[in-house]
Amino acid sequence: MFTSVFRILTAAVVMGIALAPGAASAAMLRPAALAYSNTPAGSDPDTTTTFTVTVGLLTMTAPAGANLGSGAPGTTITGSLGAVTVTDDRALLTAAWTATASATDWTTGGATTNETIPASDATYTPGTITTTGTITSTGTNITLSGAAQTVVAGTAGVGDNSATWNPTLAVAVPAAAVGGTYTATVIHSVS
């Protein structure tokens, strides 16, 4: 044993390497050329890490039905339509959308002239708009018609957002209108 240690120390001295007694046996077990990793000496290893942020759709909800109340011929019947909501789950860097509304004529009975109230005899007022996320929403009062018109616009949005409003409809009932329950369809859309 003494001869083996002496040879190791002699070889270390010849090579100009000073070894501590405990390191001499470790040096014999692990050749100097053996590396611990594939990275160059002195560098830190990097790990590329990824994840995905999912995206959804631009959607809109509105009540299936609403009753605006009642009134006599020659008056204006005003009522709330119920909550209308735009939900933008597209997670866009620059989000914008436009909500529109249109309506059919109000009719009762056989939809004769005196049993029809034109859509243009009604106004749509969005009122207060409540938002979530980052979006700027602006409402526009319109006179309803068969053509879609902008009622709320969302601009300057970032990421997911939503806007909710409870529009008021005001229908001017013609003096010649006959009694009955009048029905129309208010159509909302968002793009």
Q: What is the pLDDT of residues 60-76, one digit of tens each?
A: 999 999 999 999 999 99
Any bridge partners for residue 106, and if so which?
A: 117
30/139: higher pLDDT: 139
Question: Which residues in the chain belong to E strands, given as ranges?
Answer: 58-61, 76-80, 84-88, 95-103, 106-107, 116-117, 122-125, 129-139, 142-143, 149-165, 168-172, 186-190
**pLDDT at position 2:** 47
**pLDDT at position 119:** 98
The residue-averaged pLDDT of 12-33 equals: 50
pLDDT bin (cut points 50, 70, 90) of residue 42 is confident
Calculate the average pLDDT of the chain: 87
The residue-averaged pLDDT of 41-58 equals: 92
DSSP H or E segment with residue 57: none
pTM: 0.76
> How many whole angstroms separate alpha carbon 2 and alpha carbon 74?
122
The residue-averaged pLDDT of 19-29 equals: 50
> How many whole angstroms separate alpha carbon 151 and alpha carbon 65?
19
Query: In this predicted model, what pLDDT tens digit does every residue of 116-170 receive, in sequence order?
Result: 999 999 999 999 999 999 999 999 999 999 999 999 999 999 999 999 999 999 9
The residue-averaged pLDDT of 9-26 equals: 49
Residue 4 has pLDDT above 90, yes or no: no
Residue 41 has pLDDT above 80, yes or no: no
Residue 115 has pLDDT above 70, yes or no: yes
User: Cα angle vertex 78, ends 76, 82, to 5°?
Assistant: 160
Q: DSSP state, 36?
A: S
What are the structure tokens assigned to 111, written together? 């939809």
- Residue 5's region, left for phi above 0, alpha for psi from -120 to 50, else beta, is alpha
pLDDT bin (cut points 50, 70, 90) of residue 9 is very low
> How many whole angstroms separate alpha carbon 33 and alpha carbon 94?
55
